[in-house]
Amino acid sequence: MKYALLLLMLVTHSVLAQEVNVYSARKEALIKPLLDEFSAQTGIKVNLVTGKADALLSRIQNEGEFSPADLLLTTDVGRLVRAKALGLTQATDIPEVAAVVPANLRDEQGHWVSLTLRARPIMYAADRVDPAALSRMEDLAKPEWKGRVCVRSSNNIYNQSLVAAMLSQVGEQQTLQWAKGLVSNFARDPKGGDRDQIKAVAAGQCDVAIANTYYLAGMLTSSDSTARELAQQVKVLWPNQQDRGAHINVSGATVLKHAPNAALAHQLLAFMLTENSQAWYATANHEYPVREGVEWSDVLQSFGTFKGEEIALPEVGERNAQAVTLMDKAGWR
């Protein structure tokens, strides 16, 4: 009887141990269905904690070696590189990652990996802008766009990474010149998020904006008819197609240094890179899959195909501080 009871306790403990703890900067609605599918297929329970990206990094720092977190899901390469620099991550060697994710979209030591691609092109008012007048991101600094540009503030990491990528590809002098010209062309002081920039274009407060495509896609597929009507007035223009390509960033994941269930985190990470998971990202969140051959959502297809930057994303993340300094020098607030 005692041996049977002991065996039952061991089996119960083994079952309970099949849990993985995820800290996510993605909103619950944007990630939980995929995590639920992982649990359904594997029997592994996923404990999900959501929060602001920077707040989660601080929480992991404060928890130190006692942190229960196994996997961090976050947005923008700048935060992934920061997590590594803070010593919060561990190197991994997951065969599925190397087989699926291009080398420029992951850390060479395996500290983080991209899960989706996020494009940040130019968006314009369909009734007021001739798209032939724009071909490069640099064009937004030209005098003819004075008082016509909307973009969110310089404290937004998406803009910081945009500038960091430009620094890497065209150098500090050209990037600073562009940033100064862009600031002089602002239609208003930067405020709000990407959706606010899109709404401002539709409302005639500006003619062009810089924003991530999934925000426009989300508005176009919204249950809110007003959001749909506003978004339908705005079109996507892919800049720099004859040279470096449109700016690309990512959402990604990292296995944390003190992960108590690292092996299960590896399993979850591999699952998120399967064809079905990547297809879910593309259709549910309207983000571009990192895995080749996965079909885009209808709304992403409507934006057209494009050439994206091929710069190694770790370099973009590492230039974040330099980008912030340059934006401040340009008067971008």
What would you report as the CA-atom Rg of the chain, rounded to the nearest whole angstrom?
21
196 Cβ contact partners less than 8 Å away, ≥ 6 residues apart: 152
| H or E element in which residue 124 lies | strand 122-125
Mean pLDDT of residues grouped by 10 in the chain (333 residues)? 40 60 93 96 97 97 97 96 97 93 95 97 97 96 98 97 98 98 98 98 98 97 96 98 97 98 97 96 94 95 97 95 98 96
3-state secondary structure 193-254: CHHHHHHHHHCCCCCEEECCHHHHHHHHCCCCHHHHHHHCCEEEECCCCCCCCECEEEEEEE
Q: What is the pLDDT of residue 27?
A: 87
Q: What is the pLDDT of residue 29?
A: 87
Q: Which residues pair with 186 in a beta bridge?
A: 149
Distance of CA 218 to the CA centre of its chain: 15
pTM of the model: 0.91
* The CATH homologous superfamily of the domain defined by 120-247+312-329: Periplasmic binding protein-like II (3.40.190.10)
Which tokens hold the place of 35? Answer: 């995590």
Q: How many CA atoms lie within 13 A of 56 on its CB side?
A: 27
Question: Do residues 56 and 25 touch, judged by C-beta distance below 8 A?
Answer: yes
139 Cβ contact partners less than 8 Å away, ≥ 6 residues apart: 133, 145, 239
Q: What is the pLDDT of residue 17?
A: 58
Rounded-to-10 torsion of CA 199, 204, 209, 215: 20
> Which one, of 144, 164, 197, 145, lies nearest residue 327 by Cα?
164
Question: Do residues 235 and 122 touch, judged by C-beta distance below 8 A?
Answer: no
Q: What is the pLDDT of residue 12?
A: 42
Question: Do residues 250 and 115 touch, judged by C-beta distance below 8 A?
Answer: yes
Q: What is the CATH number of domain 2-118+249-302?
A: 3.40.190.10
157 Cβ contact partners less than 8 Å away, ≥ 6 residues apart: 53, 75, 76, 78, 79, 320
Question: Do residues 17 and 264 touch, judged by C-beta distance below 8 A?
Answer: no
Where in the chain is CATH 3.40.190.10?
2-118+249-302, 120-247+312-329
Which tokens hold the place of 308? Answer: 């994206």
| DSSP helix/strand/coil, 125 | strand
Q: What is the pLDDT of residue 10?
A: 35
